[in-house]
Amino acid sequence: MPDWNRLVRERLEPHQPLAHREEVVAELAAHLEETYETARLQGLTETAAAELTLQEVQKVNDWHVLAADIHRAKFQEDPMNRRTRSLWLPALLTVLSASISLAAAQFLGLRPHVVWINGMGITLYWPWLAGLTLCGALGAHLSQRAHGPLPARLAASLSPALIMLIVMLLILPWGLALDGIHFLTLVSFGFGLANWVAVPALALLLGAAPFLHQSPAPAQRSAA
């Protein structure tokens, strides 16, 4: 049986290299091998089956066209679908898991540890923070599996803290409008940011850290 991988690679050699080249070569070689095996099952000799298979891409230019078609079908998906899989879905699951983790800690009656600083308390909800490391890892891992870039992985893993930050920034003007701009109000807001944004963000980032390195390119994975 012909070495279809070598044959495809040789036919594509004169053309401009494609991104994801090795995966395209493997996909095209698998398609040719399937056609060849089908012809053999129909009773054709090895030579006749190989000739029939090569008729699909008989002209040199057709190899490049067929490879480009495979590349478009396999890798150039709709940007919205790619963004959904690499950002929105992982972020949603991270927020959901963080909410469930907090609800579970409260249901079990686990009490937070409060650190007092000049009469202001920073709440360290240790069981929840431990759960947040797993939530951050989940978001970053799902985004990485969908080939999300580093900003998408960060946003997906930090989504619970980012949502809380947005909520607090929306609440701040109302608080200032009702109570006026006072030093105590701003200090309270700062402690609130520490309690519900900064500390949870650190826990989420700790869990996400192993998944924030750049994913290897598909060609590198194939060669490994």
Helix, strand, coil percentages for the chain (3-state, nearest 5): 75, 5, 20
Q: Residue 153's pLDDT is what?
A: 94
Q: Residue 17's pLDDT is what?
A: 53
Pairing of strands 120-124, 113-117: antiparallel
C-alpha neighbours within 13 Å on the C-beta side of residue 16: 4
pLDDT band at residue 216 under the 50/70/90 scheme: very low
- How far apart are the two ends of the chain, measured CA to CA in Å? 25
What are the C-alpha distances in Å from 147 to residues 84, 131, 217? 12, 25, 9
The residues pairing with 121 across neighbouring beta strands, listed in sequence order, are: 116
78, pLDDT greater than 60: no
Q: How far apart are CA 134 and CA 160, in angstroms?
A: 13
Q: Residue 47's pLDDT is what?
A: 84
Q: pLDDT for 84-141, tens place per residue?
A: 888 999 999 999 999 998 888 888 887 777 766 666 667 777 888 899 999 999 999 9
Most confident among 52-56, 105-109, 142-146, 187-191 (mean pLDDT) = 142-146
**CA-based torsion, 161, 163, 169, 171: positive or negative:** negative
Say which DSSP state 43 is in.
Answer: T
pLDDT band at residue 69 under the 50/70/90 scheme: low
Q: How far apart are CA 204 and CA 214, in angstroms?
A: 18
Q: Residue 68's pLDDT is what?
A: 63
Q: Answer whether 7's CB lies under 8 Å from 205's CB.
A: no
Q: How far apart are CA 181 and CA 9, in angstroms?
A: 70
% of the chain residues with pLDDT over 70:
73
Q: How far apart are CA 212 and CA 127, in angstroms?
A: 24
209, pLDDT greater than 90: yes
Q: pLDDT for 188-201, tens place per residue?
A: 788 788 888 999 99
Q: Whole-model pTM?
A: 0.58
